Structures are given as C-alpha cells and as structure tokens.
Amino acid sequence: MTLQFWENLQVKNGYRVWSFLSFFLLPLVIFVYCYGHIVFVMRKQMRVMASHNLEASAQSASQAQSKRVKWNVIKTMIIDSAFFIVCWCPMNMFVTVEGNLLDDTEWTIGYVVALFLPYVNISLNPFIYATKHEGVRRILARMIVCRKHDGVAAVSGTAGTSSNIAGSGTRKTMTTAAAGK
C-alpha cells in the first residue's frame, strides 16, 4: 500500500485525512445535499401545482403522484447512500488505520476485498436507479436490448421507420445495378 513508503508521519497522516474526506465523507455529504435539494424543489413545485389546480379531484391526484415521486427520491437517496457507505467504508478504514497490517495474510485478503467493493458500488448504481425510476429503466432497456440490423428488420416485418425503408430501397437499387453489369 502507498502509505508504507512514506517515512514522514505528518505526510502519512495528512494523506489519511485527505483520503477519508475526499473519497468518503465529501461524496456522502454531496449525495445527501443534492437529494435533499431535489426533495426541496419537488415540495416547492407541489405547492405551486396545488395552487393552480382548481378541481379538488385533480389536486388530490396530483398531490398523491407528487408524494409518490418524492418518497421514491427519498428511498433512492437512502439506498444509494447505504450502498455507498457499505462499499466505500472498508477501503477508507484500511487507508485510515493502515500500519503493518498487510504483512498478515488475513489482512491482505481483507484489503483486496475492500479494494474491490468500490467497483461493486460503481457497478450497482445504474441498477439502483433503474429499479427506482421508470425513465432510467426505459433508457437502460433501450441501451441493453440488442437491435437487429436494418436489412434483417425490414425482412422480418418489424421495420417501420423511413430510414429502414430507404435503406432497403437503396440496397435493391444497388443489387439491380450490380446484376445489370
């Protein structure tokens, strides 16, 4: 680990504090602040929308939808922050309390696991958002679904776009021109 090579104790301790603040505490504070700001803006919009709605039924339906969205944002914040803490805390603890711990095999295995966990967190974030938000789910589904090539789609009857039709016509023209040679 990089801390072993630093002879100066003050530099080593400074790195520990900087690492803990910049890679763990600051991102956690930013998560909570940003999600809190989102909830604040949503509450403000709910009040504005409630003042514009004249019908009581439309107002109650709008308020219920807004409350669901707000609660969904709060749950996403809690889940995302909890996964962040679980995945990033062990690595930051290793950096903070590291000494000659890596000489022992069990601590080395723990360090490797702790080093792997932040990558798990980074990989889980799209799935956390996809399970909590319909818009993200739709975009990810569009990105993941394998799309057929234009020619195959036109033959199978699933092509409905003008670019697919134009592409098919272009190929026919090129095939006809090639056959005439």
Q: List pLDDT tens digits, range 29-61.
A: 998 899 888 888 888 887 777 676 656 566 677
Percent share of the chain, pLDDT over 70: 67
Q: Does residue 94 sit in the same domain as residue 169?
A: no
Q: Are 89 and 110 in contact (CB under 8 A)?
A: no
- Would you say residue 169 has pLDDT above 70? no
Q: Are residues 107 and 154 both part of a single domain? A: no
What distance in Å separates the CA atoms of residue 6 and residue 15, rounded to the nearest whole number? 10
Q: Are residues 113 and 133 in the same domain?
A: yes
Q: Which class for 24: exposed (0-12), middle (13-18), buried (19 or more C-beta within 10 A)? A: buried
Q: Does 116 share its domain with 58?
A: yes
Q: Which domain holds residue 164?
A: 150-180
Pair 133, 171 in one domain: no
Number of structural domains in the chain: 2
Q: Is the pLDDT of residue 160 over 60?
A: no
Give which of 13, 168, 177, 16 is closest to 91, Cα–Cα. 16
Say whether both 21 and 63 belong to one domain: yes
